[in-house]
Chain A
Amino acid sequence: MTDQPTSEGVVHGVIEELELAPEPPPHGPRVWIRENLISGDTRVAQFFNGLLTVVFALIAINLIQFITSYIFSPERRWAAVTHNMKLMMVQAYPRADLFRIWLSIGIFFVLVAVSLAAWGVHGRMSLWTLARGLRSTGVFLALVALLHGAFEATQLISLPLLSIDSPTDWSGTRTLLFVIGVVLAVGAQLYLNRTGPAAKQRSIPFLSVLVAIMAIVTLLIWTIELPVPEGQFDERLAPIATTTTIPWTVLFLVGIASFFLGKWLVRVVDAGRLRRLLVFLWVFSYPVIIMVIQRKPILDWGDLLGGGPTPFLESALGLFLSFSIVGGIIMWWVSLPENMQLGRGLAIALGAGIAVFGWVIGEAPTWTAVIATLAGAALIAGGLLIQDRMEIARVIGSVAAVAALLVWFIPMPFLLRSLVITFALVAVAAPSFGGTAPARIRIMVIWVSAVLLVIATFVLGKAETALEFQSTTFLGGFNLTILLAITGVALSFPLGVILALARTSTMPIFRLISTGYIELVRSVPLITWLFFGSVMLALFLPGGVEFDEIVRIVGAITIFSAAYVAENVRGGLQSISKGQYEAARAMGLTTVQSTSLIIMPQAIRAVLPALVGSVIVSFKDTSLVAIIGLADVLLIARTFVPTQSNPSFLGTQPQMVFFIALFYWVFTFTFSRLALRYEKSLGLGER
């Protein structure tokens, strides 16, 4: 590698060895202070920045002190929180049936644990990050314990007097907190000093950190003594910790066991198959939990299986069988239409059927018959003109769409209506995603599950509940909050995506409808929509159609958040370059395929942070249902507990609201961190 001078230049050769980067100069505390607390190039700037640091540190310390003084004040009756936990979680749910709630949580735990194993979530956390996190936590805990002054909480602005002795009975707790904090901080610092930069290379599975945290929580439940209210103490109203120690411990163990079960299943069964099964179970677990496990419905077997006054075809089983089989045959065929003549025949028959159907219905307004006749005639003409299989698929798709529109104008049971619409949706998608045998089987599974889901929702929604409770609905407290949030999000996402597509469509009528919807819905406050759902919706629905109040409220929340989801997704659609559309078209993908396989996944990834934001907003906005009289967790905490429960809890409203704020924060913060991890795992912004 010697330099070789030539007549015109110098050849230096290639250096292939890599040199190690020079060690950064050691960072002593003085360097750290200069760089972080009094940074600045000139003396004046350093003085000014140092002053800012001191002022804001005082403000921060005061804030922590305010909060800790508030929490540890002798006047706080935290027993109001611990003793009313059951009320806040499930409101009037009968105590004898509480195992149903535990069972629901158990199903959730098992599904989460098996899914973690099936999708191979295996992020690792470096010990360096962990130790630094523990150090910060320890310092914070110690500060919290130390900073509690002998002040009333109202004194927000006061000089930070550090006082360890306090006249309250909380001193034991605070000493414990202080010791734990110091041990954590010192231990973490010692570890960091001993290992040095090597700690960055060592890591432990992220999941084991999670399990450790859960184990600590479980241990705490067993050991911590919760505050007891003054006055007589009713055994039946024992603090939540004493009644939930066993269920939570069992759930914890079940969760861990399920994780290893999942690991084993991944090895035994094919991972792809397990994941498909899990998706199916996730979708079904939710209605099963709400409608069956928590609701304890009384089933009418006559309605279910036919017999008695209900003819078999109108019973749940009859409908399920007829729609699954007849619809299934059409789906099967649509997803691989090889036989042209059959398609032609089918289109003509469907057209004739629709045309005749329009005239047969006596009570229907005449224009319904006219629309039906026109649609039928169009289909017959289409059937006669069919040239190849793609066209048959298109014709059947339009038949289904026309049928889905028609059912809104023809009087028929709501269940039938919903089934026809479901059929239309699946039938439109089937030709694009059918083809190979596995793809067709997948479509059949989706179709049969959709029929089952729709029928089960209706049957169970109609059935009376066998629970005994003194409330309008079996749902209340946090249970209601969760139901409203999950259902609202789950329903508003597809609706929002459809609206966003419509708003960016080339068809003016779709653009007009979608823009009108979004602008109308966004311009009216959510509370107005809730009132609309609660009192006015019945006026707009066809006669004889009645929904439970919960369903109407869910509808209102869905309508509202769909508009926001739509605008977010539209932003994502705009970020997709024209080249992506062109590449998809040049490969011969249909519009449905390129939208769902190429454009939409990218659009949603692009706006994932905004969508996470709108999920959090929906979750918090559920507290507005208190206005129309539904007892969500916030209403119970701020009104029921301080005014209507045990007399010893009278006037505890501020601390209940304080607790609820913390409670919401824990959920939304956890969710946003998980979303952040997911975003990172997708490699957003990197590829």
Chain B
Amino acid sequence: MTDIGKPMIICEGVKKWFGDFQALKGVTTTIGEREVVVVIGPSGSGKSTFIRCINRLEVHQEGRIAVDGIELTNDLRNIDAIRREVGMVFQSFNLFPHLTVLENITLAPIWVRKQTRTEAEEIGRRLLERVGIPEQADKYPGQLSGGQQQRVAIARALAMNPKVMLFDEPTSALDPEMIKEVLDVMKELAQSGMTMIVVTHEMGFAREVADRVLFFDYGAIVEEGTPEHFFTNPQHDRTKLFLSQIL
């Protein structure tokens, strides 16, 4: 277990509706610095909506979210500030197909962090080395395999030097052979002390890396706990049913 520092993300009673459908029914949790939280649950349970609220890709209607002491309000300055500190990795990679791998990675550092191009490229190449594909820097995303694309997406998020990384089902669109290479990168990231929230169906990853597991259903946290507690001794009937179906 990593040693968990001061609170990094605070959520209090977060509620979110899509039209009449209530996607989040009051989510309250605190995620500490360097903590790795894995969010699991059936589809439509609100787990993706929850992490998308944290960097304001979805707007929550009630409750409070604060990231690194910055309140997430309608104030554009706070939203910009939070997005600079929170990196995100998507299920469908969302790399920019018209830019090379290196340009994908250096884009935000150059235009948002205002780094010089040489500086950004140096950092970009180092990050590509870290995710294990330094030789792909000048290729286009369409020329890479799914696993490589997702690793580029991770490097792209890391290039902004974020304090928190959000992963929205990062391995769901990948062939089984490529899942491991992405999970390895994420494990290495977790060990380096990054604060991470990971929505995933990879129970092995949850068991091995997570400090805490949140189980979502019907827009709320049904049960939470350490991986041991969660996988060996789940309390709630819904959790037991879910685990029995996927394990």
Which residues of A line the B interface, CB within 8 A?
A: 387-388, 390-391, 432-433, 435-439, 577, 579-580, 582-583, 585-590, 593, 597-598, 601-602, 605, 683, 686-687
Contact = CB atoms under 8 A, between A and B. Distances in A.
17 contacts: A387-B77, A432-B111, A433-B111, A436-B110, A438-B117, A577-B92, A580-B96, A582-B94, A583-B90, A586-B55, A587-B157, A588-B83, A588-B112, A589-B112, A593-B111, A597-B107, A686-B142
A583 B104 CA distance: 11
Contacts of A433: 111
B193 to A, nearest CB: 22
A687 B83 contact: no
B115 interface: yes
Give the top 10 A-B pairs by smallest Cβ distance, nearest first.
A687-B142, A435-B114, A583-B94, A579-B94, A588-B83, A587-B108, A586-B88, A588-B112, A687-B140, A588-B84
Contact of B143 (A436, A438, A586, A687): A687
Nearest to B143: A687
A502 to B, nearest CB: 21
Given A579-B92, A687-B141, A436 B115 contact: yes
Given A587-B83, A588-B160, A683 B94 contact: no
Contacts of A435: 110-111, 114
A436 B140 contact: no
B108 A589 contact: yes
B184 interface: no
Contacts of B55: 586
A580 B160 contact: no
Contacts of B88: 583, 586
A388 B77 CA distance: 8
A686 to B, nearest CB: 6
A582 B157 CA distance: 13
A582 B114 contact: no
Contacts of B30: none
Interface string B68-100: 000000001100100110111010101111100
Contact of B111 (A388, A391, A597, A602): A597
A438 B114 CA distance: 11
B57 interface: yes
Contacts of B86: 586
B96 A436 contact: no
Consensus secondary structure, chain A interface = helix
Interface in B103-131: 107-108, 110-112, 114-117
Contacts of A577: 92, 94
Given A436-B115, A593-B112, A687-B141, 18 more contacts: A390-B80, A435-B110, A436-B114, A577-B92, A582-B90, A583-B95, A586-B83, A587-B156, A587-B157, A588-B80, A588-B83, A588-B84, A588-B112, A602-B97, A605-B98, A683-B140, A683-B142, A687-B140
Contacts of A602: 96-98
B116 to A, nearest CB: 5
Contacts of B76: 390
Q: Chain B: interface residue count, which band?
A: 20 to 34
Contacts, number: 81
Nearest to A685: B142
Contacts of B157: 586-587
B83 A585 contact: yes
Contacts of A436: 110, 114-116
A140 B206 CA distance: 71
Interface string B121-159: 000000000000000000011110000000000001100
Contacts of B96: 580, 583, 598, 602
Nearest to B92: A579
A604 B77 CA distance: 31
B158 to A, nearest CB: 11
A439 B113 CA distance: 13
Contacts of B95: 583
Nearest to A272: B117
Contacts of A388: 77
Contacts of A438: 116-117
Contacts of B115: 436
A650 B77 CA distance: 75
Contact of A582 (B57, B77, B107, B143): B57
| Among A438, A582, A586, A590, residue most surrounded by chain B Cβ atoms (within 10 Å) | A586
Contacts of A597: 107, 111
A582 B160 CA distance: 16
A590 B86 CA distance: 15
Contacts of A683: 140, 142
A435 B113 CA distance: 8
Nearest to A682: B98
A387 B76 CA distance: 12
A674 B182 CA distance: 42
Contact of B90 (A579, A593, A686): A579
B222 to A, nearest CB: 27
A366 to B, nearest CB: 35
Given A588-B83, A687-B97, A687-B143, A390 B77 contact: yes
B124 to A, nearest CB: 13
